[in-house]
Amino acid sequence: MRILIIDDDVGITNLVHHILSAEGYEVLSAPNGEKGIDIIREKSPDLVILDLMLPIQDGWDVCKNIRSFSNVPILIMSALNGALYIASALDAGADDYLVKPVPNNMLLARVKRLLQRSVQNQAHLPLYQEASFWATG
């Protein structure tokens, strides 16, 4: 499973990368939303971990942008704490929200749950859709 971390804090990115890699995940990273969106389009990660306080484009806008073309699960991981921040991130299209600092076991539990749910949802999708063609004459 491939996970993308979009966070401008190199220390956090390296720590989360280490935690997830140790569990066998392939981990990609981007320092801002613009590069993160490019990676999503090119590499199709199975999960995105997204910070809200990003340079260039904030995490809310990045989340909305991702939702305009992808249903990839999005886990917000931010230092911003409070009902308003959490609700606005969920309204922007996030699937879950964690407040930094995050205990390793909680991060892993949320990642595993979102990935399981994603796999279950994909299992219910049709492999193909029949096309109906109407003859006109």
Tally of structural domains, the chain: 1
Given a cut of 80, whether residue 127 has pLDDT beyond it is: no
49/125 Cα distance (integer angstroms):
24
* Residue 70 located in a structural domain: yes
In a domain, 129, yes or no: no
pLDDT band at residue 128 using 50, 70 and 90 as cut-offs: low
Q: Rounded to an integer, what distance in angstroms lies between the CA atom of residue 93 and that of residue 72?
A: 10
CATH code (residue 49): 3.40.50.2300
Say if residue 43's pLDDT is above 50.
yes
- Please give the DSSP secondary-structure letter assigned to residue 51: -
Assess if residue 131 is contained within a domain.
no
The pLDDT-based confidence of 117 (bands split at 50, 70, 90) is confident
- Domain assignment present for 126: no
Residue 98 lies in a domain: yes
Q: Find the range with the poorest average confidence among 46-60, 91-105, 106-120, 123-137.
A: 123-137
Distance CA 127, CA 123 (A): 9
CA dihedral 43, 49, 55, 60 (to 10 degrees): 110
pTM of the model: 0.88
Question: Which residue segment(s) compose the domain that 79 sits in?
Answer: 2-120
21 located within any domain: yes
pLDDT tens digits for range 47-92 = 999 999 999 999 999 999 999 999 999 999 999 999 999 999 999 9
Which long-range contacts (C-beta less than 8 Å, at least 24 apart) are formed by 60-66? 60/88, 60/89, 60/92, 61/33, 61/92, 62/6, 62/33, 62/36, 62/37, 63/89, 63/92, 63/93, 63/94, 64/92, 64/93, 65/33, 65/37, 66/37, 66/40, 66/93
Query: Does any domain span residue 87?
Result: yes
Instruction: Evaluate whether residue 127 is within a structural domain.
Output: no
